[in-house]
Amino acid sequence: MSNEESAEEKLESIANTTDLQTAIKRLERRKFILEEGLKEHFHDLTVSLKPKNIIKNTIAELQESTTLRQNVLKVALGLGAGYFSRRLLVTKSAGVVKKALGAVLQYGITNFIAKKGDDENDEYPKKKNVLRRILSI
């Protein structure tokens, strides 16, 4: 509201044509400056949204953050292990059931490897998995 009030006061202070001309020039100059700022901002935005710059910024963030780097490494290892375990089990001529089991195996191994490091960082005692319970008997 203060902007509206100050605009009304400026309009009231214009008494003759010279004041009107100076006010118009002032507004045109302000408009030009705002347009230039908007153009610069738009140019910066288009440059930052180029795929090359997105990848470069992502790599820079990965180099700075150790936890993010570790998480990406865990996920990549999990995906790779899951993919290769599925390829070992499922051949090109495999049936529907074998393909479904391969997908389940891939999902399970991927999640197991990706979440394995999270269990090691817990402050709580480690849970024994089913395989350890069976083998320890």
Domain count, the chain: 1
**Domain enclosing residue 50, as ranges:** 17-87
pLDDT at residue number 125: 45
Tell whether 82 is covered by a domain. Answer: yes
Tell whether 104 is covered by a domain. Answer: no
Tell whether 102 is covered by a domain. Answer: no
Please give the Cα distance from 110 to 104 (Å, whole number).
10
Tell whether 113 is covered by a domain. Answer: no
pLDDT at residue number 62: 78
Q: Are 105 and 136 in contact (CB under 8 A)?
A: no
Helix (H) or strand (E) run with residue 55 in it: helix 51-64
pTM of the model: 0.42
Tell whether 74 is covered by a domain. Answer: yes
Tell whether 119 is covered by a domain. Answer: no
C-alpha dihedral sign at 65, 67, 73, 76: negative
pLDDT tens, residue order, the chain (137 aa): 456 555 555 556 888 899 899 999 999 999 999 999 999 999 999 999 999 999 998 888 878 888 877 788 888 888 888 778 777 777 676 788 877 887 888 788 777 777 765 555 544 444 555 555 555 55
